[in-house]
């Protein structure tokens, strides 16, 4: 994976690639946006390590030149995190607005999907209680971001109820993904093993989030039909 994006991680285009991937995966959840973020962060960890090692072995003049060159090649963790978080929120907003304006056709499509209908109802209840933890947890679940953003828009939830939680979710996901890549690269090395373990940790978090998101629906389905009418 590091080899496949090696050219990107050494140029500012890595930020554009990350932003575009994260922005679009609300509509195409199959895009490997999380893998790309982790790979870029792992490359940053590898670059930081190499700069530190060279600083210990080289003269002051050589260190300055090497550090200047490395700073052009090593992705900035802060910029990477901000790109991923911002693109996540923007993608959520686009999906939210499209669903808001979707009209009867989208409403019928959501009504045919038990998953979308259930998520829409749970999201509405959570936001009405003043809590949006579901939005944050769903950001880590496979396709959870898409379901929540479309559900919030189709249900015409107020932007002030949804957007702040979307921002928290995007930032949490970005920090977690970048952190996985960076610390994985620091402690496990910048090879395929460190990247693979970091990606596995991301997938495990997604699987756990999916269980948490589905739990209310499973509990509701166990109740009498009269209690769960409309789910």
Average pLDDT, the chain: 74
**pLDDT computed for residue 129 by the predictor:** 57
Pairwise CA distance, residues 73 & 43, whole Å: 9
Weakest-pLDDT range from 79-88, 94-103, 111-120: 111-120
Residue 56: CB partners within 8 Å, gap ≥ 6?
Answer: none
Distance separating alpha carbons of residues 80 and 47, to the nearest angstrom: 14
How is the chain split into domains, by residue range? 6-221
Which of 1-5, 40-44, 152-156, 159-163 shows the lowest per-residue confidence on average (mean pLDDT)?
A: 1-5
Tell me the pTM: 0.75
Look at residue 27 in the predicted model and tell me its pLDDT: 86
Q: What is the pLDDT of residue 223?
A: 42
- What pLDDT was estimated at residue 230? 39
| DSSP letters for 88-153 | HHHHHHHHHHHHHT-HHHHHHHHHH-HHHHHHHHHHHHHHHTT--HHHHHHTTSTTHHHHHHHHHH
Q: Is the pLDDT of residue 113 over 80?
A: no
pLDDT at position 13 over 70: yes
Q: What is the mean pLDDT of residues 25-34?
A: 85
| 97 in Cβ contact with 153 (< 8 Å) | yes
Q: Is the distance from CB of 197 to CB of 184 less than 8 angstroms?
A: yes
Q: Can you tell me the mean pLDDT for 10-19?
A: 85
Overall average pLDDT of the 35-41 stretch: 89
pLDDT average, residue stretch 136-149: 86
Q: Which pLDDT does position 18 carry in this prediction? A: 92
Name the burial class of residue 117, with classes exposed (0-12), middle (13-18) and buried (19+) by CB atoms within 10 angstroms of its CB: middle
Please check the confidence at residue 212 and state whether its pLDDT lies above 60.
yes
What pLDDT does 90 receive?
96
Instruction: List the one residue out of 22, 15, 159 whose CA is nearest residue 93.
Output: 159
Residue 9 in this model has a pLDDT that exceeds 50? yes
Name which of 31, 154, 169, 13 is nearest 88 in CA terms: 169
pLDDT at residue 138 in the model: 86
The reported pLDDT for the residue numbered 180 is 92
């Amino acid at each position: 994976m590091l080899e496949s994006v090696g050219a990107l991680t050494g140029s500012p285009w890595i930020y554009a690639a990350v932003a575009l991937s994260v922005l679009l995966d609300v509509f195409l959840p199959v895009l490997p946006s999380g893998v790309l973020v982790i790979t870029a962060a792992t490359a940053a960890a590898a670059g930081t390590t190499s700069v530190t090692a060279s600083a210990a072995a080289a003269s002051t003049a050589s260190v300055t030149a090497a550090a200047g060159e490395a700073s052009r090649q090593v992705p900035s963790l802060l910029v990477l995190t901000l790109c991923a978080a911002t693109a996540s929120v923007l993608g959520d907003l686009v999906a939210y607005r499209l669903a808001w304006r979707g009209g009867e056709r989208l409403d019928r499509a959501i009504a045919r999907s038990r998953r979308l209908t259930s998520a829409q109802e749970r999201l509405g209840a959570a936001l009405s209680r003043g809590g949006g933890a579901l939005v944050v947890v769903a950001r880590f679940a496979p396709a959870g971001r898409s379901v929540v953003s479309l559900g919030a828009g189709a249900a015409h939830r107020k932007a002030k109820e949804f957007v702040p939680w979307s921002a928290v979710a995007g930032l949490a996901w970005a920090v977690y993904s970048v952190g996985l890549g960076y610390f994985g690269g620091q402690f496990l090395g910048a090879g395929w093993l460190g990247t693979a373990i970091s990606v596995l940790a991301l997938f495990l978090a997604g699987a756990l989030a999916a269980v948490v998101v589905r739990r209310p629906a499973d509990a509701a389905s166990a109740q009498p039909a009269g209690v769960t009418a409309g789910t």
